[in-house]
Structure 1
Amino acid sequence: MQLTRKLVLAKAKASDLDSVKKLNCWGCSLSDISIFSQIPHIEVLTLSVNSISSLSPLAGCLSLCELYLRRNMIPSLSELSHLRSLTCLRVLWMAENPCCGTDLNQYRLTVLRCLPRLQKLDNQVVTEDELSLALVEGEEITAPPATVQNHVSTTGMTDAETENDPLNYNMEETNKIREQLGMKPLPRDKFPSLTSPSPRETKTAIKKTHTLEAILLLLTDLDEEELHIVHTATHNKLSYYTLTTETLTNSLHTEKAADIEH
């Protein structure tokens, strides 16, 4: 069953979709919730006990604070990637969906790694220790595969065109990082034009350069807590490279000394 405008307005007792802040559709046999692309200001949403399989229509509900999805048909935790941009989301109830699997502890850690801003998951308060563990042991969630090939993107270009567009590398890397932090993607017009790469540059080198640019663009949007996370991760990686370099240098000195002795 499709959730319609008429049903939404009747349940919310509202005159238009923009004014809908709370909506309870518990047990309405819903499978199609595409209407939420037209309800941007929803804050509390109950969709438990339905037949919903995709969360993509909720990606634009940026004011959503509480979301109840218990006992639906969500097949994979990859659907949670659609909720990463919902920075206000603090309460999520996902239990009794196929995506939860049998290892409920791993399920919980994976959800919290994807949505670290949650304060309550499946009616249980999220602790700081649990969140720290989730960032280490939770599985990384990737977006579900596209259902339409070679579609036209929001830039008005097809996938084939954007793949070879140097500006797209910058946008892709920046928005990938922003998505992982639960932030809204930046539109194409926010990125400076890039010169075409020289024939000698490889695709890998280009992407590395643009990744750096993307990170520098992203830093301006982070608050103190998020900058501290970036600082810690950077420090740990630099320590790893320093240790690796020292180990390699010591190994070369040992080999050189051995050659001199012989």
Structure 2
Amino acid sequence: MKLSRKLVLAKAKASDLDSVKKLNCWGCNLTDISIFTLMSNIEVLTLSVNSITSLAPLASCLNLCELYLRRNMISSLSELSHLRLLGRLKVLWLAENPCCGTDPNKYRLTVLRCLPRLQKLDNQVVTEEEVALALTQGEEVTTPTDPVQNQLSTNGQPDTETENDPLEYSMDETNKIREQLGMRPLPRDKFPSLSSPSTRENRLLTRKSHTLDAILLLLKDLDEDELHVVHTATQNRLQMFTLNSEMMKNSLQTKRTVDIED
């Protein structure tokens, strides 16, 4: 069943979609929620006990604070990537979906890594310690593949890299970000143009540069509590690098000792 404009207005007792702030569609046998691409002002949304498979339409609901999706047909946690830009989303209930799997700890850490701003997940309060742990041990959530992006390119061969990769910024876009941060622009000869053939190593360097720029820009939008979470996760990450470095150093030292004894 498709959620229609008429049904939304009837349930919300509203005259237009823009005025709808809260909506309860519990148990309406919904499969199509594309109407939410037109409802950017929605704040509290209940869609539990339906047959929803994709969260893509909710990416437009930038004012969403609470989202209830219990007992739907969401098969992959990759659908959560559509919620990443919803900065006001604090409450999510996703339990009893196929994507939750059989390992509740793994599921919870993965969700919190993708959505670290959540304050409550599945009716359970989220702690700072959980978020810090999730950012280091939770699995990374990738963006769902768009069927349109899987179409053959103009030369009849499958595209080896998606054109809509969020990290594939042009040099101009990268330098605009750096300018906002008060950083010097990158010289054009430092990285090859993304539109021209390049090696895998050069592409990796370019993506890392874009990632760093994006992170620095996003930090300006975080409040004190959120910065504390990032700080804790960064410390944990650095400790892992230090530990790995020491282990590698000890391993090399042991190997040299064995070689000398031989």
TM-score (norm 1): 0.73
Q: What CA distance in whole angstroms lies between the structure 2 residues aligned with 1:47 and 1:188?
A: 41
Are the counterparts in 2 of residues 173 and 214 from structure 1 also a CA contact under 8 Å?
Answer: no
- Do the aligned partners of 1:55 and 1:79 also contact (CA within 8 Å) in 2? yes
2:201 to 182, 200, 204: 204
Tell me if the contact between 2:59 and 2:82 (Cα under 8 Å) persists in the aligned partners: yes
Distance change (3 Å), C-alpha of 1:203 and 1:6: same
Secondary structure, counterpart of 1:108 in structure 2: helix
Structure 1 residue 88: Cα displacement: 1.1
1:207 deviates by 2.4
What is the root-mean-square deviation in Å for CA atoms of aligned residues?
Answer: 3.7
2:109 is the counterpart of 1:96: no
The residue identity in structure 2 corresponding to 1:197 is P
The percentage of counterpart residues that share the same residue type is: 55
CA distance change for structure 1 residues 214 and 137 in 2, over 3 Å: closer, same or farther?
Answer: closer
Q: 1:172 aligns with which of 167, 170, 173?
A: 167
Instruction: Report how far residue 228 of structure 1 moved.
Output: 2.2
CA distance in 2, matches of 1:227, 1:127: 14
- Note the 1:2-21 alignment, pairs <5 A: 2-21=2-21
User: Does the C-alpha gap of structure 1 residues 110 and 209 become closer, same or farther in structure 2, counting only changes over 3 Å?
Assistant: closer
Aligned residue among 232, 241, 245 for 2:235: 232
The range that moved more, 64-73 or 95-104, is 95-104
Q: How many angstroms does 1:190 deviate by?
A: 3.8
One-letter code aligned to 1:232: Q
**Partner SS for 2:148:** coil
Which residues of 2 match residues 115-194 of structure 1 at below 5 A? 115-150=115-150, 163=161, 172=167, 190-192=173-175
Q: Does the 8 Å CA contact 1:26/1:49 hold for their aligned counterparts?
A: yes
TM-score (ref. length: structure 2): 0.73
Contact residue 136 and residue 233 of structure 2 kept, 8 A: no
1:16-27 aligned within 5 A? 16-27=16-27
Post-superposition Cα deviations, 1:77-124, rounded to whole Å, max 9, x if no partner, equal 221121112121111111222222333333223222222211111112
The one-letter code sitting in structure 2 at the alignment partner of 1:39 is: M
Change (3 A) 1:64 1:237: same
Q: Deviations along 1:45-66, whole A, 9 cap, x unmatched?
A: 0011111111111112111110
**What is the CA-CA distance between 1:36 and the residue it aligns to?**
0.5
Q: How many residues are treated as equivalent by the alignment?
A: 238
How far off its partner does 1:237 sit?
Answer: 5.9
Q: Distance in 1 between matches of 2:121 and 2:59?
A: 19
Residue in structure 2 matched with residue 44 of structure 1 by the alignment: 44
Asked if the contact 1:173/1:211 (under 8 Å) is kept, the reply is no
